[in-house]
Amino acid sequence: MKSTLSALLFAAGAAAHSAVWTINFDGTEYPALDARMDKDLGAKRIEWTFTNNNGVEGRPAPWQAITDVTSPGITCGLEPKYPALRAVARAGTDIVVNWSGMIRMHYGPVLSYLGAIPTPDTKAQGIKFFKVKGDGYDKAANKWANEYVLDNNRTDVVKIPSNIKPGMYVFRTELLALHGNGLPAPLGGPQFYTHCFNVNITGNGADTPEGVTFPGGYKPDEKGVAFTIMNKAIWGDYTSPGPALYEGKHDAPVGDSPVVYVKDTGIFPEEFQKKYEAIKEKEDAYSLAANDKFNSLNNPGPGQPRGDMTEFATFLAGHVKEGEKLQQELEALKKEAVELGLATPQ
Residues 286-320 pLDDT 10s: 777 766 766 666 665 555 656 566 766 776 676 77
At residue 291, the pLDDT reads 67
Model's pTM, two decimal places? 0.87
At residue 161, the pLDDT reads 98
* Inter-residue contact 174 to 214 (CB < 8 Å): no
CA dihedral 338, 344, 345, 346 (to 10 degrees): -130
At residue 10, the pLDDT reads 40
At residue 63, the pLDDT reads 73
Lowest mean pLDDT among 83-97, 107-121, 174-188, 296-310: 296-310
User: pLDDT band for position 55 (50/70/90)?
Assistant: low
Q: What is the pLDDT of residues 135-183, one digit of tens each?
A: 999 999 999 999 999 999 999 999 999 999 999 999 999 999 999 998 8
Q: What's the whole-number average pLDDT of the chain? A: 87
Q: What is the pLDDT of residues 238-266, one digit of tens each?
A: 999 999 999 999 999 999 999 999 999 99
Q: Which residue has the higher pLDDT, 24 or 12?
A: 24
Is the predicted pLDDT of residue 8 greater than 70, yes or no? no
Q: Which range is most confident: 54-68, 84-98, 273-287, 297-311?
A: 84-98
